[in-house]
Structure 1
C-alpha cells in the first residue's frame, strides 16, 4: 500500500525538529546524527540507534513519494484493477479463512470485527502476505522523516520504528512498502507501536506474523470505534470506521462489498 492508501496514522506527539530536514541525499548523514539525539531522548535504545546509524537514504522512496497521484478511479474500475472481481476476490478470501477458521472466529469474538473485513484488508494490502514491500523499513521511514515535505508527519513514525527494533518487533533490515508501511496489513510504525497485539504470545508484536498482524488490525478497528455485530455497509457507523484505515472512499467500498461476499 502506498502512502495515499496507508493505514491511518496515530497522533503521536512529534518532538521539536532539531534535526535539519533536506530535499536530497546530501544532508542525510548530518540529519541522522542530530536525529539520533532526538530518538535517544524519546527512549530509543541501542539497537534502534544502531539501526538508524546504518540507515541508507532511500531514493526509491523519494521517487514513489514524488510520483503519487492519489486514487481517482471509479469503484468498478478500482475493483477491476485491485481485485479482478468481487467474486474471484471473495473466493480467495474464503480459501484463506478455510486454512484456519477458528482463528478468524476468535478474532471476531475478541474484537467484534468479522473475518470478511480482516480478510478483505489483508488481501487488498498485500495479497494475503505475498507482497509486503521491498524497501527496508528503517531506510524508508528515516528518509521521509528527513525529507522536508512531511517531516512533522513521519518523524514520530521513524521514532516508533526504532523502538520496534529495540523491542524485537522489527528487524533492522526488515522490508516494507515505500513509506515505511510494514507487515501483512501495512501498518505505519506508530500504529504498530500503539495498536499492535502479541496474539501468538511469543513476547513481541510482529506484524510479519499473520497472527499478530490480523489481531492488530482487528484491535485498531475496534479502538477506532468498530461496533460488533452492526452493519459495515456504506452509511453505517462501521463503514465510517473504515475511513480511519484508509481515506479513499473506493477503498472503503471495496472492503465492505468484498466482506459481504464472504459466506
Structure 2
C-alpha cells in the first residue's frame, strides 16, 4: 500500500458532533458505518444529495481485505524485487516516455524541482506507465478499508475525500476503478492528495490522472515537492566499500554521517560523486555487506514517505538513478537470507532481548534491521543489518 505516512488523522477530531458519535468509527454493522460516513461528509460541507449518491451503493470487497493482509512483495529480497521491477523493458519504455513528454518533465522540474527520472521511476513501478492501474472499484475499496478496524484513521479521511471528488465530478462512484487500496491513476494517488496536489498538466481544464499523462506527471511532481524534495540534490548513489575492518555498524538510516565521513573511510562511487561533500549520507546494504551498497541522501526520505517498504523505496530510487544514466548495480554474492518462518523466529528472539521490531510478521523492516545490527555488533559480527542462519543460531 502506497503513500502511508501522509494521511493518518485522529478519529477524535472526526467524531466531534453527537450525530457522528452515534455511528461506529469502524467495524460493526456496515450500513450503520456508512450512515456515520454520510453524516460526516455532510458536516464537512458536502451536500446531502452528493453524499447519498456516492455512498448508497457502497459495499465491502473481500478481495480488498485479502490483498491488504497479503502484501507478499514486502517479503522479497532487494535483488529479487529490483531485478523484476527494474527490467530492461521498463528501462526502454521509461526512456521513451521521458523523451515523449520532455516538455512536461522540463516544466515539472522548473516549477517543483523534481527530475524527470524520479517521476518516471514512480510512474513505471506504480502502473507500468499507466498500463496497469487496477480494476478495484475505488469507492468500495476505500469503504472496505475504512470500515475495517486495522487502519481506519488512514482510510476514513480518504473515503470522505472520495465523496468530495464525486461532488466535484472527478469520481464516478460506480465506474471509477484503481488499486486495491484506493489509489487512482497513472501514479496511484489517494483522493485527498488528488484534491490537494492535482495539477492540470495538459491544459484541458480538468485533472484526470487516469487518462492524462501530463496531469499525472505534474501532479506527481507537486506531491513529491510537498513531501520535501530538495531540488538539485541526489537521492541515491551506488558505492563500493573497502574490504577489511570496515565500521559496518555505522551503516543504516539516521546514523548522522556525512558524505565526507564515508569518503574518509574509503567509500568510493561507481557513477561519479556528488559535488557537495557536506551532504548527510546513510550507507545502505539492502542485502548485506556482500551485496549492492548505496549512499542515501536527504531526498531518499521522500521515497520512504511515498512507500514505507524499504525494498520498494530502494528499488524505486535505484530505478531513478538508472533512468538518469547510472550503470546497473554490482549484485555481489550476498548470503542466503531467512525464509518467512525463520524470520519470524528471529523477530521473536530479538523482541525477547528487548528490541522493538514491531509486529512479528516475517518482514525485514527498519526496526528489525536496526535490531539485527545491534545484535551483530554485540556478538562481534559484521553489523550490516542482514540476518542469516549464523546470526539466528547464535541468538
Q: 1:62-77 alignment to 2 at 5 Å?
A: 62-69=65-72, 71-77=74-80
Instruction: Structure 1 unaligned segments of length 5 or more: list them.
Output: none
Instruction: Give, in whole Å, the separation in 2 of the partners of 1:93 and 1:163.
Output: 33
Q: 1:1-263 alignment to 2 at 5 Å?
A: 3=1, 5-6=2-3, 8-12=5-9, 14=11, 15-16=14-15, 18=21, 19-20=23-24, 21-22=26-27, 27-45=29-47, 46-69=49-72, 71-84=74-87, 87-172=88-173, 173-208=175-210, 209-233=212-236, 234-262=295-323, 263=325
Instruction: Give, in whole Å, the separation in 2 of the partners of 1:179 and 1:215.
Output: 22
Shift of 1:261: 2.0
Alignment deviations for residues 10-31 of structure 1 (CA, whole Å, 9 cap, x no partner):
34564126332327xxx22222
Please identify which structure carries the higher helix content: 1
Q: Higher relative contact order at CA 8 Å, sep ≥6: structure 1 or structure 2?
A: 1
Aligned residue pairs, count: 255
Q: Is the contact between residue 7 and residue 188 of structure 1 (CA under 8 Å) also seen in structure 2? A: no
Q: Is the contact between residue 39 and residue 49 of structure 1 (CA under 8 Å) also seen in structure 2? A: no
Instruction: Give, in whole Å, the separation in 2 of the partners of 1:228 and 1:187.
Output: 22
Q: Which residue of the partner structure matches residue 254 of structure 2?
A: none
Question: Scaled by the length of structure 2, what TM-score is found?
Answer: 0.60
Shift of 1:95: 1.3
Shift of 1:176: 0.8
Instruction: Give, in whole Å, the separation in 2 of the partners of 1:100 and 1:152.
Output: 37
Q: Is the contact between residue 164 and residue 193 of structure 1 (CA under 8 Å) also seen in structure 2? A: yes
Alignment deviations for residues 185-228 of structure 1 (CA, whole Å, 9 cap, x no partner):
11122222222223233343322132222211111111111111
Q: Is the contact between residue 197 and residue 212 of structure 1 (CA under 8 Å) also seen in structure 2? A: yes
The DSSP-based 3-state class of the residue aligned with 1:237 is coil
The DSSP-based 3-state class of the residue aligned with 2:187 is coil
Moved over 6 A (4+): none
Query: Which moves more between the two structures, 241-250 or 114-123?
Result: 241-250
Q: Is the contact between residue 182 and residue 189 of structure 1 (CA under 8 Å) also seen in structure 2? A: yes
Alignment deviations for residues 211-253 of structure 1 (CA, whole Å, 9 cap, x no partner):
2222111111111111111111142111112111111222222
Shift of 1:52: 1.0
Alignment deviations for residues 53-72 of structure 1 (CA, whole Å, 9 cap, x no partner):
12222121122123334613
CA RMSD in angstroms, aligned pairs only: 2.0
Q: Is the contact between residue 73 and residue 81 of structure 2 (CA under 8 Å) also seen in structure 1? A: no
Shift of 1:112: 0.8
